[in-house]
Amino acid sequence: MGSRIHVYKGTTITVTWDAAMCIHAAECVRGLPKVFDTSRKPWVDANAASATAIMGVIERCPSGALKYQFGNGAKSERPAKTNTITVTTDGPLHVRGELEIVRGSDGSVVAKDTRAALCRCGQSANKPFCDRSHAKTGFSELGVVTGPADVKPAAEPAGGSGLRITLRPNGPLRLDGEMQIFDGGGRLAWQGPETALCRCGASKNKPFCDGSHREAGFVAE
């Protein structure tokens, strides 16, 4: 699936929207309905609120489909200080931080971003990103994080910089970098410097990979 980026220029701030990446989380329409109104064309009015308010709402967009920029390039979104992964109920992994997503086959970069919604049902046509196929296929998973037996849930935030996400061919997402994993209820459930998360939908130890992708015949770049 290609990128379809729409640009909405305001006096102070310019909003961009990548339709191919949008998973309709609706943070924007709930947060600033005068700016983001899907009943209107164009649906984004970048002059209908302060730049600060627009920035705040855009940074809540989990997929990274919405972004902002200023004419003078003075301000741009900074990555979250802590890399986080939220395992959403029946849905994707919401990942935040200084993200670099690379192909495991050749190390080439798929994306560098601050936010991404990554498929964990195995059905997206836009892998590694979510395209809401989980809703069509009835993917049902509470977002419980039990974790490997040798890793205890931690209470203190982890520090660290970037998070490298490697797409293992026909296998999991390999994550390297200090990170925190939150369950579907928003509870900090795991933290550490490396792990492998299921993206085939078949693991019996979600969100972690347990090798079930082989039995399931999972095929992905």
Positions that interact with ligand FES (CB under 6 A): 171-172, 198-200, 202-203, 209-213
Q: What is d(CA 64, CA 67) in angstroms, rounded to the nearest whole number?
A: 7
Identify which of residues 2 and 138 has a Cβ nearer to ligand FES in the complex.
138
**DSSP category for residue 44:** B
Nearer to ligand FES, 58 or 200 (CB): 200
Q: In what order do the strands lie in the sheet with 66-70?
A: 5-9, 13-18, 66-70
* Closest by Cα among 217, 121, 114, 107 to 166: 107
User: In angstroms, what is the minimal distance from the CB of 89 to ligand FES?
Assistant: 18
- CB of 147 vs ligand FES, minimal distance in Å: 15
Q: Is the dihedral of CA 104, 181, 75, 58 positive or negative?
A: positive
Nearest approach, Cβ of residue 212 and ligand FES (Å): 4
CB nearer ligand FES, residue 54 or residue 167 = 167
Least separation in angstroms between CB 219 and ligand FES: 11
The SS3 call for residue 212 is helix
Considering the complex, state which of residue 128 and residue 172 has its C-beta at the smaller distance from ligand FES.
172
